[in-house]
């Protein structure tokens, strides 16, 4: 099931790849909105895991960002291959990583078809800490000499607060905490994406201010050591000065999609796989 929300706002373009108003048209597709084990949870008899509503089926967290010049995915988890097939992603310029946990990096090997068809490496953008995790998980990618047929990447380091540019799309890192691990969120024009967080400092939250749409993790209602609960996520969004919010990284413990959605404050929504936003 797919629906589209359109925001009448532009994305600032950092190069000459813009329209006459200096803005880019951007489409964001939610490839996955589930927690680290996905929904349904294996073997679980609960109503959410046995729901007939497709909005209650959630692959691991990822979004696809499209402009006329760029096709970018944030995180490549264990469901990456199926997500690319399901969404029809025929071109991939880059993957941006939030952090190095398995549910966000495990699918990197499946970029090989893009190498084959596009005859070039895929750009990988990650912090130094996440690069270490990628080297441990995919050591064969980084060997010298390389083995024929392995994934081909071009590594780019995300450095602190410094914005970076991918094919004209300017991306600003937002640093958050996932318990004691620093995780990167990203602001791209009027869109902000943050997952796997349980703390956002005031200076970093200021980076989010004015976003037309903010995505934030909301794992469940019960407290968790490294994730926002739904009520905590609502508090963060309320303080962030954003037009609309979409909650992601949702577990089966949060409840049925339609029930949770109906109880949210105005302007706040439960994201689901296949949802698209257009700016």
Is the pLDDT at 18 greater than 60? The verdict is no
Q: According to the model, what pLDDT value does residue 7 have?
A: 57
Q: According to the model, what pLDDT value does residue 160 have?
A: 79
Instruction: Quote the pTM value.
Output: 0.92
**CA separation, residue 36 to residues 70, 204, 231, 266 (Å):** 27, 25, 20, 28
Q: Which pair of structure tokens corresponds to residue 18?
A: 């813009």
Is the pLDDT at 21 greater than 80? The verdict is no
Identify the weakest region by mean pLDDT among 46-55, 156-165, 217-226: 156-165
pLDDT > 70 in the chain, percent:
92
Question: Percent helix, strand and coil across the chain, each rounded to 5?
Answer: 25, 30, 45
Q: According to the model, what pLDDT value does residue 147 have?
A: 81
pLDDT tier at 22 (50, 70, 90 boundaries)?
A: low
Q: According to the model, what pLDDT value does residue 145 have?
A: 80
pLDDT > 90 in the chain, percent:
87
Nearest CA to 269 out of 255, 252, 248 is that of: 248
Is the pLDDT at 244 greater than 60? The verdict is yes
Phi first, then psi, for residue 278 (nearest 5°) are: -125, 135
The 10 Å Cβ neighbour count of residue 82 is: 14
Q: According to the model, what pLDDT value does residue 24 have?
A: 73
Cα 160–Cα 162–Cα 166 angle in degrees, nearest 5: 120
CB 24, CB 67: distance < 8 Å: yes
Q: According to the model, what pLDDT value does residue 10 have?
A: 41
Q: What is the pLDDT of residues 88-108, one digit of tens each?
A: 999 999 999 999 999 999 999
Q: In what order do the strands lie in the sheet with 213-217?
A: 164-166, 169-178, 181-188, 191-193, 213-217, 244-248, 268-270
Domains detected in the chain? 4-278 (3.60.15.10)
**CA separation, residue 56 to residues 50, 102, 104, 172, 219 (Å):** 9, 22, 20, 31, 14
Q: According to the model, what pLDDT value does residue 14 have?
A: 40
- Extended strands (E) in the chain: 4-6, 11-12, 23-24, 27-32, 62-66, 71-74, 94-96, 122-126, 153-157, 164-166, 169-178, 181-188, 191-193, 213-217, 244-248, 268-270, 276-278
Average pLDDT, the chain: 93
Q: According to the model, what pLDDT value does residue 148 have?
A: 84
Q: According to the model, what pLDDT value does residue 146 have?
A: 79
Cis peptide bond upstream of 144, omega within 30? no
Q: What number of residues does the chain have?
A: 279
Q: According to the model, what pLDDT value does residue 17 have?
A: 39
Is the pLDDT at 163 greater than 70? The verdict is yes
Is the pLDDT at 13 greater than 80? The verdict is no
- Extended strands (E) in 68-163: 71-74, 94-96, 122-126, 153-157
Is the pLDDT at 78 greater than 90? The verdict is yes
Say if strands 71-74 and 94-96 run parallel, antiparallel, or are unpaired.
Answer: parallel
Q: According to the model, what pLDDT value does residue 23 have?
A: 66
d(CA 106, CA 54): 24
Q: What is the pLDDT of residues 108-155, one digit of tens each?
A: 999 999 999 999 999 999 999 999 999 999 999 999 887 888 999 999
Nearest CA to 155 out of 113, 102, 95, 106 is that of: 95
Cis peptide bond upstream of 234, omega within 30? no
pLDDT tier at 6 (50, 70, 90 boundaries)?
A: low
CB 263, CB 254: distance < 8 Å: no
Q: Which pair of structure tokens corresponds to residue 165?
A: 């540019």
Is the pLDDT at 3 greater than 80? The verdict is no
């Amino acid at each position: 099931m797919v629906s589209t929300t359109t925001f009448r706002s532009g994305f600032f373009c950092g190069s000459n790849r813009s329209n006459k108003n200096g803005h880019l048209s951007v489409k964001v597709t939610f490839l996955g909105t589930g927690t680290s084990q996905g929904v349904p949870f294996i073997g679980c008899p609960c109503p959410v895991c046995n729901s007939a509503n497709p909005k209650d089926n959630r692959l691991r967290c990822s979004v696809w960002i499209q402009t006329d010049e760029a096709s970018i995915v944030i995180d490549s988890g264990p469901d990456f291959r199926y997500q690319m097939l399901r969404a029809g992603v025929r071109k991939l310029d880059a993957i941006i990583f939030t952090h190095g946990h398995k549910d966000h990096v495990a699918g990197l090997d499946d970029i090989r078809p893009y190498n084959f068809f596009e005859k070039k490496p895929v750009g990988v953008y990650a912090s130094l800490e996440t690069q270490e995790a990628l080297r441990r998980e995919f050591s064969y990618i980084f060997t010298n000499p390389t083995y024929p047929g392995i994934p081909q990447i071009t590594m780019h380091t995300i450095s602190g607060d410094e914005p970076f540019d991918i094919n004209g799309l300017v991306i600003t890192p937002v640093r958050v905490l996932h318990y004691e691990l620093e995780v990167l969120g990203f602001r791209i024009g009027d869109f902000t994406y943050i997952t796997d967080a349980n703390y956002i400092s005031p200076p970093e939250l200021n980076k989010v201010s004015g976003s037309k749409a903010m995505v934030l993790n909301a794992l469940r209602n019960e407290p968790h050591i490294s994730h926002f609960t739904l009520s905590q996520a609502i508090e963060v969004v309320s303080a962030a000065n954003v037009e609309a919010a979409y909650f992601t990284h949702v577990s089966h413990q949060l409840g049925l999609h339609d029930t949770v959605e109906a109880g949210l404050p105005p302007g706040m929504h439960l994201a689901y796989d296949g949802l698209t936003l257009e700016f």
